[in-house]
Structure 1
Amino acid sequence: MKTVIQRVSQASVCIDGHIAGRINQGLLVLICAEATDTETTSDRLLNKLLKLRIFSDEAGKMNRSVQDVEGGLLIVSQFTLAADVWSGNRPGFSSAADPKTGEKLYDYFVDTARKLHPIVETGSFGANMQVSLVNDGPVTIPIQL
């Protein structure tokens, strides 16, 4: 799975002019399932996100996780993370999971996150969404498992 996480002081996602999800301090998680991904891949990624120490401690060092700071997760599907731009000028998306598999893995990731973390908000798989955020730091980290 490919993901880009951003440490945020606030983030939201709107669909058709309505807020679908909103968090204050936490992580904006842009996520893409690839053709070779499984539920095991999803579990590994979620475990990594929940424990990743990228929030500041009392000394100002990145030493606390989203769980430690009781932050939220805003999870947004974004198949364009699978873009291949090396051949020509139009991105190709052949490494992305097919839509049915991608949606199944996205739903699995969100459902599992809700079981393990108290604050989980989402967009909607396949929807045209407008994402707003205040990147804290800024801290932006790409992860591929």
Structure 2
Amino acid sequence: MRLRRPVLLVCAALAAGCGGGAEQKNAYVEDVQRAQRTFVTRFEQVRKRLTTTSTLAQDQATLANFQAITERFAATLEKVQPPEDVRVEHDRLVAAVAGYGADVGRARARLRAASVEDRSIVRTELSSAVEGTQEKIAKAVGDINAALRQ
């Protein structure tokens, strides 16, 4: 099973969007970057465990780890205090990340009940869900960037 990182460009995009150097905006970007770095590090460590030859039990354990990591990332982002002018956009970012965690949880449940033949279908569905999440995250980040530039 292969899983892609859902949120790799958040930090770079946020930092690039933060013109003017306002202290609150910079602190916000730093907080998001810190959460991002932690998430990416943990995600990459776990992602290495997913292989095309992994067993159902191994896939289940790995997806449980992905879900926990993603839920922690969403919770950390939720604690970040965004500048007022990006609060709505930040909330959308948090919701997109939390949605990814929910997608992984649904995949875990489906995988538990899936036959050997259906495992590839579940993997494909999860991959599609990740792509949808990436689009939501990209939109939220783009909206945050636009608001931070104003």
| TM-score normalized with structure 1 length | 0.31
**TM-score, normalization by structure 2:** 0.31
